[in-house]
C-alpha cells in the first residue's frame, strides 16, 4: 500500500495497492522534483511509475529490468537520472527522465508522438585504457550519439516505419531503423556520415572504417509510420568542455570530407581497372595457349594491373613490407584528421591535396593507356569473333565476373 497526503498528514488517500496491479509490499516512494504528477514506487517485486499522481500505475521494464526488490530511489537533478538501489541486483540507472515527465493523458491518446530529451552534445572522444584483471566490472557508457525519444500507443504492425535525419537545407543525411514496440522508444543516431568507399587491397584500411561526425547545428527528425509523418527539431551542440569552436569543427569536417571524396575517386578508378582486367582475361579465356590475341589480352591486363598497384598495396604488412601506396597513405592522413575534431594543421590539408594530385596523375596515365591500348585489343577480339570490351559498364561487369571467379 502507498498513501498520499495533501495537508501535511491530517488526511490520507490510498494511491497504490494490489487493485492497481502493483505486486509486493512497498519499500520507497518518491515524487519527481520537476513534475509532481510523476511518482516512482519501489516494491519487493520491482519498480512502478505513475504519471497521474497515483491514479494509475505501470511496471517499469526498460532495459530488461528484473523483478527484484527496489529498496531505495534517488533522482539526480543535474542529469535527470533515476538511480535504483535493488536488493541483490546492484544499482540500476534510468537515463534521462525528461521523456517520462512529458507524458500526459493527451499525449498518451496519440498514435505516435515525439518526446523531449536532454540537450545533445558531441562529446570529445578519447582513446586509451588499460588491461583489467579478473572480476572487474565496468558499466556501459552513455550512447555516443543523439538519443531520439518517441511514444507509440500500440505496436506498429502494418506499413513502413522509418526515421530520417534532415539537415538545415532539408537534405536527408541519415536513415535509421525505428523501433516498432508500443510505449516509449529510444533510437540512437550516431551523428556520423557514411564511411568512405575504399578500394580493396591486401589489408584493411582501418581509419577509413568510419565517417566524420556531422557539424553542430539544427537538424530535423522525420518519423514515417504508415501514412503518418511527424517531425521534430534536433539541435546538436559542441561538448561544453571543447576548446575549439564551431568554425574549427567545420574546417576539420571539410578536410575530412575532402579526403572522403578522394577515397571515392580512388575506388572508382580501382574498380574500373579491376573490371577491365577481368573482362580482358575472360574474353580470351577459351583461346588456346600461345594464341597472339590471348597474349595481347594478357599484356593489356598486366598494364592495367601495374596502374592498380600504384593505387593500392598488394602485399600484407604495410610499412613492414615497404609497400604502401596511395590508398595506405590517404588512410593514414584521414586517420590523423579524424583523431582530433578541432582545426586541422595546414600541413594536413596540404597532404590531402598532394595525394589528390598524385591520384590525378594515375587517372591521367590510366586514361591514356586505355585510350591507346583498348581499341587495339577490341579490334583483335573482334577479329576472333569475340565481343569487344565497352568502357560503359566495364566496372560493374568486371566486378561481377571477378566475384564469380
Give pLDDT tens digits for 93-115: 999 999 999 998 899 999 999 99
Q: Is the pLDDT of residue 401 over 50?
A: no
User: What mean pLDDT, rounded, does the chain reach?
Assistant: 90
pLDDT for position 319: 59
Q: Is it the case that residue 230 has pLDDT exceeding 80?
A: yes
Residue 81: Cβ within 10 Å count: 16
Q: Is the confidence at residue 399, as pLDDT, over 50?
A: no
Query: Is 405 a residue whose pLDDT tops 50?
Result: no
pLDDT-based confidence at residue 398 (cuts at 50, 70, 90): very low
The pLDDT of residue 62: 86
pLDDT of residue 376: 93
pLDDT of residue 300: 96
Q: How far apart are CA 312 and CA 307, in angstroms?
A: 9
User: Looking at residue 103, what is its pLDDT?
Assistant: 92
Residue 267 makes CB contacts below 8 A (sequence gap 6+) with 196, 197, 198, 199
Whether the per-residue pLDDT at 338 is higher than 60: the answer is yes
Q: Which residue has the higher pLDDT, 240 or 316?
A: 240
Q: Cα 172–250–236 angle (5° rounding)? A: 55
Confidence of residue 392 (pLDDT cuts 50, 70, 90): low
Burial of 198 (0-12, 13-18, 19+ CB in 10 A): buried
Model pLDDT, residue 172: 95
Give the lowest-confidence range in 72-81, 127-136, 203-212, 334-343: 127-136
- Closest to 401 measured CA to CA, from 300, 282, 242: 282
d(CA 94, CA 34): 16
Distance in angstroms (rounded) separating the CA atoms of residues 251 and 263:
19
- Bridge partners of residue 150, in order along the sequence: 114, 185
pLDDT digits (tens, 9 = 90+) for 245-272: 999 999 999 999 999 999 999 999 999 9
- Residue 81 pLDDT greater than 50, yes or no: yes
Amino acid at each position: 500500500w502507498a498513501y498520499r497526503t495533501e495537508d501535511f498528514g491530517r488526511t490520507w488517500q490510498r494511491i497504490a495497492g494490489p487493485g492497481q496491479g502493483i505486486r509486493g509490499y512497498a519499500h520507497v516512494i518518491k515524487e519527481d522534483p520537476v513534475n509532481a504528477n510523476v511518482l516512482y514506487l519501489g516494491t519487493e517485486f520491482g519498480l512502478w511509475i505513475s504519471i497521474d499522481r497515483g491514479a494509475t500505475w505501470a511496471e517499469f521494464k526498460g532495459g530488461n529490468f528484473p523483478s527484484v526488490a527496489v529498496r531505495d530511489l534517488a533522482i539526480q537533478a543535474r542529469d535527470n537520472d533515476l538511480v535504483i538501489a535493488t536488493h541483490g541486483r546492484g544499482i540500476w540507472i534510468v537515463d534521462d527522465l525528461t521523456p517520462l515527465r512529458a507524458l500526459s493523458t493527451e499525449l498518451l491518446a496519440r498514435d505516435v508522438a515525439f518526446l523531449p530529451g536532454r540537450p545533445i552534445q558531441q562529446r570529445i572522444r578519447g582513446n586509451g585504457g588499460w588491461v583489467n584483471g579478473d572480476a572487474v566490472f565496468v558499466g556501459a557508457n552513455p550512447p555516443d550519439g543523439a538519443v531520439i525519444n518517441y511514444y507509440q500507443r500500440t505496436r506498429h504492425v502494418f506499413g513502413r516505419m522509418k526515421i530520417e535525419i534532415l539537415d538545415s537545407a532539408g537534405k536527408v543525411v541519415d536513415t535509421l531503423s525505428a523501433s516498432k514496440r508500443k510505449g516509449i522508444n529510444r533510437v540512437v543516431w550516431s551523428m556520423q556520415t557514411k564511411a568512405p568507399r575504399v578500394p580493396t587491397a591486401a589489408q584493411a584500411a582501418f581509419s577509413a572504417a568510419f565517417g566524420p561526425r556531422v557539424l553542430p547545428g539544427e537538424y530535423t527528425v522525420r518519423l514515417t509510420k504508415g501514412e503518418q509523418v511527424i517531425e521534430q527539431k534536433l539541435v546538436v551542440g559542441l561538448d561544453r568542455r571543447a576548446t575549439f569552436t564551431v568554425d574549427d569543427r567545420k574546417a576539420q569536417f571539410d578536410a575530412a570530407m575532402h579526403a572522403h571524396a578522394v577515397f571515392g575517386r580512388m575506388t572508382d578508378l580501382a574498380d574500373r581497372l579491376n573490371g577491365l582486367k577481368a573482362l580482358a582475361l575472360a574474353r580470351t579465356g577459351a583461346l588456346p595457349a600461345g594464341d597472339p590475341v590471348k597474349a595481347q589480352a594478357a599484356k593489356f591486363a598486366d598494364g592495367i594491373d601495374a596502374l592498380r598497384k600504384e593505387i593500392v598495396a598488394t602485399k600484407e604488412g604495410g610499412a613492414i613490407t615497404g609497400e604502401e601506396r596511395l590508398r595506405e597513405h590517404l588512410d593514414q592522413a584521414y586517420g590523423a584528421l579524424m583523431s582530433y575534431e578541432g582545426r586541422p594543421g595546414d600541413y594536413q590539408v596540404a597532404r590531402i591535396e598532394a595525394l589528390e594530385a598524385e591520384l590525378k596523375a594515375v587517372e591521367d596515365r590510366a586514361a591514356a593507356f586505355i585510350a591507346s591500348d583498348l581499341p587495339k585489343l577490341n579490334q583483335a577480339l573482334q577479329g576472333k569473333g569475340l565481343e569487344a570490351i565497352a568502357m560503359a559498364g566495364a566496372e560493374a561487369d568486371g566486378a561481377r565476373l571477378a566475384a564469380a571467379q
